[in-house]
Structure 1
Amino acid sequence: MPHPGWSVFRFEGIGTSWEIATPDHLPEQLRDELLETVAVYDRTYSRFRADSLVSQLAQAPGTIALPRHAAGLRDLYAELYRLSRGAMTPLIGPSLERLGYGAGYSLVPSGSPVAARGWEELLEWNATSLTAKEPVILDIGAAGKGQLVDLLAGVLRSHGRTDFLVDGSGDMLHGGSRPVTVALEHPYNPRQAIGTVELDNAALCASAANRRAWGDGLHHVLDGRTGQPIRTIVASWTIAATAMEADALATALFMVEPGTLEDSFDFEWLRVFSTGSATFSPGFEGRLFT
């Protein structure tokens, strides 16, 4: 939660709710710049709108030019694709849509899950240039919201705002001299918490099977090798320097053992299994309720 007395700017963007908390009220010009940052990101990456850049590649093969910050997104996905042996991939979109999580939000399956095609088979993503050799449904949801959190924090910093909490529906980045205490949402009951963690000039992101769940055990965290929802883990939290990394790693923890990820990334983590047990890294300075 933000500090008492802070001003909170609330808005909707990329299909979710946002809050930006700061000590002082944000002027209208700065609010407009924040909203435009969200709008541009949505017009670039949303697979839920027909006029986005990535939706062009769902209609026909071709090349699109992406913003400069796409280079970091590409490098992160490429590394996690490698470490997960293809389980975490931006090409999971077809299975998500077959299971009902598509542009119409039908949440009604239209077919069986399908394994993602190989990245190297379909995509040439060279930093800010992305070429699809065939029509593809690109989904960068495992890291995109986190990257947008970072971009909004960058806008605040460019205006001299160093004390803030950017919260994209649970994916957070904190800056400032006073840490904030954040509740960890219960994976089976969003009105309860399983613990708390202190966030101090870092990002905290979560991935949970209950956040986008429907039908008979269906949810949005899929294994790219099978297209099936992952059922052994129900929630994860990560703390990292950037929200983009924290967001992506929270999803990766459903597919990759923490030790493998720790060889490539500097982060802390907590995982909750479907059995009710939990494991966490030595540096995860949170408090779990008994």
Structure 2
Amino acid sequence: MRRWISGVLTVMTLVLSGCATEIEPVETSLFAMNTYMTFTVYGENAQEALDESVELIQTMESRWAVTDDESEIYRGNHSDGRPISVSEETAALISFALDMAEKTKSALDPTIYPVLAAWGFTTDSKQVPSQEQIDALLERVDYSKIQLDGTTLTMPKGMQLDLGAVGKGYTADLVAEVLQTHGVQSALINLGGNIQAVGSRPDGSDWRIGIRAPWGEDNLGVLEISDAAVVTSGGYENYFEDKDGNIYWHILDPSTGYPANSGLQAVTIIGEEGRLCDALSTALFVMGTEQAEAYWRENGGFDMLLVTDENEILLTEGIADKFTLSDGRKEPVQVLVS
């Protein structure tokens, strides 16, 4: 069953200073979608907006949780090939995931779940599957076999969807829409590392987002953004080590069924839509440096920060003047120009 823990919603307060009135932020925390979420929202209707946002997140989780036997995704995964009806939001998310799978040539494939489960990344029992097991499960991985007609979903028997690579980003977009509907012009949403900035800080300056150093606890640098999403994917986020010291991480290459060994340690995507950033952070990690750069040049619409296995940082030109290395760091930085 899914789990969620709602944090305490703080009361918005006003601090008077002379003739000026400063509105303090309303903040909340929430455990949902198997991750810890935090919200900082400014505005007269911030509390109402947050209440509605929390309800929205819990609703989406109840529909998309892959282990919740009452969710729409679970019903689809256990439908034995029979068509089922899903909500419009679920249909839109599946449609987006399938579209991104096609655009990335299967570097992102939402049907990878059976292989992911075999590695134990969905449980607490991580292990290295046999080659025979991986080969058999890969026969169930093919996004093109998923049929979606409006809100009717049909999945071949044995295939399973997992929308974890797009769900949080899509949810962040929906939350941002809720906040803006309530007149919120300044907010920072953090859905387990998926950052969504609504507008800029109340004083008009950019939000300052720390980009974590791969395989470390400190920050690689600081990224300044306004009205944008920032999503990072890296092998260090969820991994295990076998008795021989080999490290295996949760981002799998759908073409091999093994952890993607693409020459990248981390991929950060910056763009207007959280769902696109979420999808591309995974897909470009699988692709590797050259294909990621080629995808950016061909498609555009986003910026990226890549950290290679050689600790080189590649930045696209749109964020070159928005990123600053943390004090003491000496990684070489290369700017990619279109």
Q: 2:83 aligns to what SS in structure 1? A: strand
Alpha-carbon displacement from aligned partner over 1:68-109 (angstroms, at most 9, x marks no partner): 34455344433432243323100010110000023x433345
Residue 123 (structure 1) aligned with residue 150 (structure 2): no
* TM score, norm. by length of structure 1: 0.88
Alpha-carbon displacement from aligned partner over 1:4-44 (angstroms, at most 9, x marks no partner): 95332111111001111012587765444222211221121
Partner of 2:213: 186
Partner of 2:225: 199
Q: 1 CA distance for matches of 2:100 and 2:75?
A: 25
Contact 1:174 1:202 in 2 (8 A): yes
Contact 1:98 1:111 in 2 (8 A): no
The one-letter amino acid paired with 2:313 is: A
Partner of 1:223: 253
Q: 2 CA distance for matches of 1:109 and 1:100?
A: 8
- Identify which range, 132-141 or 202-211, moves more after superposition: 132-141
Contact 2:45 2:182 in 1 (8 A): no
Residue 55 (structure 1) aligned with residue 74 (structure 2): yes
Alpha-carbon displacement from aligned partner over 1:28-70 (angstroms, at most 9, x marks no partner): 6544422221122112111122221111122222223333344
Task: Say what the alpha-carbon RMSD is for the aligned residues.
Answer: 2.3
Partner of 2:307: 272
Contact 1:6 1:24 in 2 (8 A): yes
The structure 1 residue matched to 2:175, chosen from 131, 152, 156, is: 152
The one-letter amino acid paired with 1:197 is: L
Partner of 2:114: 94
Using a 3 Å threshold, how does the CA distance of structure 1 residues 139 and 110 change in structure 2: closer, same or farther? same
Q: 2 CA distance for matches of 1:215 and 1:51?
A: 34
Gaps of 5+ in 1: none
Residue 39 (structure 1) aligned with residue 65 (structure 2): no
Alignment of 1:129-168 (within 5 A): 129-168=152-191
Q: 2 CA distance for matches of 1:200 and 1:207?
A: 21
Using a 3 Å threshold, how does the CA distance of structure 1 residues 25 and 12 change in structure 2: closer, same or farther? farther
Q: 2 CA distance for matches of 1:95 and 1:18?
A: 27
Contact 1:107 1:215 in 2 (8 A): no
Q: 1:33 aligns to what SS in structure 2? A: helix
Contact 1:171 1:203 in 2 (8 A): yes
Contact 2:108 2:279 in 1 (8 A): no
Contact 1:7 1:25 in 2 (8 A): no
How far apart are residue 223 of structure 1 and its match?
Answer: 0.9
How far apart are residue 172 of structure 1 and its match?
Answer: 1.1
Partner of 1:237: 268
How far apart are residue 133 of structure 1 and its match?
Answer: 2.3
Q: How many residues align?
A: 284
- Identify which range, 179-188 or 262-271, moves more after superposition: 262-271
Larger Rg: 2
The one-letter amino acid paired with 1:193 is: N
Q: 2:185 aligns to what SS in structure 1? A: coil
Alpha-carbon displacement from aligned partner over 1:173-227 (angstroms, at most 9, x marks no partner): 11224320101011111x2011111011111111111111123322221111111
Q: 1 CA distance for matches of 2:241 and 2:71?
A: 28
How far apart are residue 265 of structure 1 and its match?
Answer: 4.1
* TM score, norm. by length of structure 2: 0.77
